[in-house]
Amino acid sequence: MTPAPPLTLDQYAEGVLGGDRAVLGRAITLVESGRVDHRKLAAALLERLLPHTGAARRVGITGVPGVGKSTFIDQLGVNLTAAGHRVAVLAVDPTSRRTGGSILGDKTRMERLANDPNAFVRPSPAGATLGGVTRTSREVMVVCEAAGYDVVLVETVGVGQSETMVAEMVDFFLVLMLAGAGDELQGIKKGILELADAVAVNKADGDNAERALRAASDYRHALRLTTPASAVWEPPVMTCSALANEGLVEIWEQIQLHHARMDASGELAVKRSGQQLRWMWSMVEENLLADLHADPRVRVAIAEVEPEVRAGRLPAPLAAERILGTYRSADGVEGCS
């Protein structure tokens, strides 16, 4: 098959803003690319699209393995499209550390939503990125919002300390839990609950319904020991069954209520502006690291010091200073710090 001809900046922008799904997919591929020429074009495209964003509800969804995140998102997304919303899902697929390939294949895990004309499901391999968020997740959110999707759901790999990265790019952070909280609370990091804007105990159906209610009570108690992130919002704890489509309407109502309160108090604007600054600095750090590794003299220095560090003959701080010194010297800024 002959590859499609490259698109110009105008073609990308017009296609995305016009809701062309094929161009949207190509635009996301562009912003996910690591090629220098692609990154430059992607930056220009994001600048063009940014004025057309900001109105969407941005929701991060995380949870322990087996909690049913994909089933939950599939059902919530179908509910939302039926209510007239357009839903984009950034479903971060776990990546095999051995092969580098995606493991699960999100479109097969969200079959109804993937076939919904008012939804757009984008699987993205997580790679080695902390928090289960790809390097370009923020950029992909911008592109989807510009394409007219008014709800953006971000599924993450699972609960972990660096899930703070997810919370720092969304408006609402939902943590899904399972019943049996008495045992599981021991394995939950306090920091995750402090990030939560709501906790939902999933699979609250059949014989598990009563256990889910007890678990919700335990999580409410645990949340009382945390400091609320907002002066106008106390995270609720609910029960739901994604499989039976029970409790999901109430969860969406809480997301809407949270948005209204945060917007009215001015906290939403402050939160989003802070997220933009953190995005900027993360890009500065990423690009500096990429430049460092791309420098041929730095690569030589790395090849020299790494065996010494492994063998214990060279302290890591001194090795790091040698690498940085080489980089500074290459840029003509030796001695700067």
For residue range 272-304, list pLDDT tens digits in order. 999 999 889 988 988 899 889 989 999 999 999
271 located within any domain: no
9 located within any domain: yes
Does the pLDDT at position 189 exceed 70?
Answer: no
Band the pLDDT of 135: cuts 50, 70, 90: low
Instruction: Identify whether the C-beta of residue 10 lies closer than 8 Å to the C-beta of residue 41.
Output: no
**Count of CB atoms within 10 A of residue 58's CB?**
22
Domain count, the chain: 3
- Residues 312 and 232 grouped into a single domain: no
Instruction: Identify whether the C-beta of residue 202 lies closer than 8 Å to the C-beta of residue 242.
Output: yes
- pLDDT for the residue numbered 106: 45
112 located within any domain: yes
- Residues 24 and 161 grouped into a single domain: no
Backbone angles phi, psi at 103, to 5 degrees: -95, -45
Kindly report, residue by residue over 104-129, the tens digit of the pLDDT: 444 457 889 989 999 999 876 555 44
Measured between alpha carbons, how far is 124 from 137 in angstroms, rounded to an integer? 9
- Residues 199 and 318 grouped into a single domain: no
Average pLDDT over residues 145-169: 81
- Residues 81 and 169 grouped into a single domain: yes
Q: Which CATH number belongs to the domain containing residue 292 in this structure?
A: 1.10.287
- Residues 43 and 173 grouped into a single domain: no
Tokens coding 202: 């999933």
- pLDDT for the residue numbered 93: 53
- Residues 288 and 166 grouped into a single domain: no
Enumerate the β-bridge partners of residue 172: 59
Owning domain of residue 136: 53-264
337 located within any domain: no
- pLDDT for the residue numbered 331: 58
- Residues 185 and 98 grouped into a single domain: yes
83 located within any domain: yes
- Residues 82 and 145 grouped into a single domain: yes
270 located within any domain: no
242 located within any domain: yes
Measured between alpha carbons, how far is 185 from 190 in angstroms, rounded to an integer? 9
Residue finishing a domain among 212, 233, 264? 264
- Residues 33 and 95 grouped into a single domain: no
Residue finishing a domain among 14, 34, 52? 52
336 located within any domain: no
- Residues 39 and 157 grouped into a single domain: no
- Residues 75 and 172 grouped into a single domain: yes
DSSP 179: S
Instruction: Identify whether the C-beta of residue 201 lies closer than 8 Å to the C-beta of residue 178.
Output: yes
Backbone angles phi, psi at 190, to 5 degrees: -55, -35
Backbone angles phi, psi at 158, to 5 degrees: 170, 180
